Copies of this chain bind each other. A is one copy, B any other.
Amino acid sequence: MPKILVTRHLGQQAMTVLEQSGLDLIVNPEDAAPSRDWVLGHLANPEVQAICLMHSQPSDKVDEQLLDAASPNLRCVSTFSVGYDHINVKAANARGVKVGHTPGVLDDAVADLTVMLVLMTLRRVGESIQLVRSGGWPQLPWAPFVNCGQSISHPSLTIGFLGFGRISQAALERLLVFTNKTDRPQIIYNSSRRRDNQDTIDADFSKRYGVDVKRVEKEELAAKSDILIVLCDLNPSTKDLVNKSFFEQMKESAILVNVARGPIVNSEDLHEALTTGQIWGAGLDVLTGEPNITADHPLLHVKNCLVLPHLGSADYDTRNKMAELCARNAIAAVRGDELLAEVKL
Residues of A within 8 A of B (CB): 8-11, 31-33, 54, 56-57, 80, 108-109, 112-113, 115-116, 119-120, 122-123, 125-126, 128-135, 137-138, 140-154, 173-174, 177-178, 290-296, 300, 306-309, 311, 314-319, 323
What residues of B have a CB within 8 angstroms of the CB of A131 in the complex?
Answer: 309
Asked whether, in the complex, the Cβ of A144 is within 8 Å of the Cβ of B8, the reply is yes
Given A11-B144, A116-B123, A153-B317, A292:B129 Cβ within 8 A: no
Chain A interface secondary structure, helix, strand, loop or mixed?
A: loop
What residues of B have a CB within 8 angstroms of the CB of A315 in the complex?
Answer: 122-123, 148-151
Tell me, in angstroms, the Cα distance from A344 to B116 when the chains sit together: 38
Tell me, in angstroms, the Cα distance from A116 to B114 when the chains sit together: 11
What residues of B have a CB within 8 angstroms of the CB of A309 in the complex?
Answer: 128, 131-132, 137, 140, 147
Tell me, in angstroms, the Cα distance from A116 to B122 when the chains sit together: 11
What residues of B have a CB within 8 angstroms of the CB of A177 in the complex?
Answer: 173-174, 177
Asked whether, in the complex, the Cβ of B113 is within 8 Å of the Cβ of A116, the reply is no
What residues of B have a CB within 8 angstroms of the CB of A133 in the complex?
Answer: 130, 295, 300, 307
Tell me, in angstroms, the Cα distance from A238 to B308 when the chains sit together: 36
Asked whether, in the complex, the Cβ of A144 is within 8 Å of the Cβ of B311, the reply is no
What residues of B have a CB within 8 angstroms of the CB of A293 in the complex?
Answer: 132, 135, 137-138
What residues of B have a CB within 8 angstroms of the CB of A33 in the complex?
Answer: 142
A173 to chain B, nearest CB (A): 6
A/B interface sample: 5 pairs, CB < 8 A? A31-B143, A112-B151, A115-B178, A129-B129, A140-B309
- A132-B293, A148-B315 given; name 11 further pairs at CB < 8 Å: A108-B153, A116-B123, A120-B120, A122-B315, A132-B300, A133-B295, A133-B300, A140-B309, A144-B319, A149-B314, A150-B317
What residues of B have a CB within 8 angstroms of the CB of A129 in the complex?
Answer: 126, 129, 306-308
Tell me, in angstroms, the Cα distance from A326 to B147 when the chains sit together: 20
Query: Which residue of chain B is the closest to A310 with respect to CB atoms?
Result: B147
Tell me, in angstroms, the Cα distance from A11 to B148 when the chains sit together: 12
Asked whether, in the complex, the Cβ of B295 is within 8 Å of the Cβ of A134, the reply is yes
What residues of B have a CB within 8 angstroms of the CB of A319 in the complex?
Answer: 144-145, 148
Tell me, in angstroms, the Cα distance from A131 to B300 when the chains sit together: 11
Query: Which residue of chain B is the closest to A149 with respect to CB atoms?
Result: B315
Tell me, in angstroms, the Cα distance from A328 to B153 when the chains sit together: 22
Given A293-B138, A314-B149, A112:B119 Cβ within 8 A: yes
A218 to chain B, nearest CB (A): 29
Tell me, in angstroms, the Cα distance from A33 to B174 when the chains sit together: 40
